[in-house]
Amino acid sequence: MKVTQLECLCLILLHLLHTAGSERFEVLGPTDSIVAVAGDDIILPCYLKPNISAEDMTVDWLNLDFLDSRVFRYQNHRIIREDQILFYSGRTSLFEEELWRGNTSLKLTRVQGTDEGHYKCFIQSKSWYDDFTVQVLVKVVGSKPVVSIEGHREGGMGLLCESEGWHPEPELVWLDSKGVNLSAGPPEIDKDYKGFYTVKQHVIVQETDTNHFTCRVQQSRINEKMETEIHLPSELFDYATPLRMAVIVLCCLGAVTVIGLSLAVYCIRNKKDKLTRNLDDLCNQNYELCEHKCK
Q: How many domains, the chain?
A: 3
Does 205 lie in the same domain as 114? no
pLDDT value of position 281? 62
Q: Is residue 11 part of a domain?
A: no
Does 164 lie in the same domain as 228? yes
pLDDT value of position 14? 42
pLDDT value of position 9? 47
Query: If 0-12 CB within 10 Å is exposed, 13-18 middle and 19+ buried, where does residue 241 land?
Result: middle
CATH code where residue 197 lies:
2.60.40.10
pLDDT value of position 239? 54
Final residue in a domain of this structure, among 138, 169, 200: 138
Does 38 lie in the same domain as 98? yes
- The backbone torsions φ and ψ at residue 75, rounded to the nearest 5 degrees and listed phi first, read -155, 140
- The backbone torsions φ and ψ at residue 255, rounded to the nearest 5 degrees and listed phi first, read -65, -40
What is the domain extent for residue 187?
Answer: 146-238
How confident is the chain (295 residues) per 10-residue block, as mean pLDDT? 50 43 84 94 97 96 92 95 92 96 97 95 96 96 95 89 95 95 94 94 94 96 93 78 55 66 67 62 57 53
pLDDT value of position 1? 45
| Strand bridging mode 197-205 / 129-139 | unpaired
Q: Which is nearest to 111 in space by CA: 52, 35, 183?
A: 35
- The backbone torsions φ and ψ at residue 253, rounded to the nearest 5 degrees and listed phi first, read -60, -40
**75 vs 56, 122, 260, 286, CA distance in Å?**
8, 12, 95, 132
Q: Is residue 10 part of a domain?
A: no
Calpha distance 203→102 (Å, rounded): 58
Does 127 lie in the same domain as 49? yes
Calpha distance 57→153 (Å, rounded): 67
Question: For the chain, what is the total number of helices (H) and then of strands (E)?
Answer: 3, 18
Does 249 lie in the same domain as 200? no
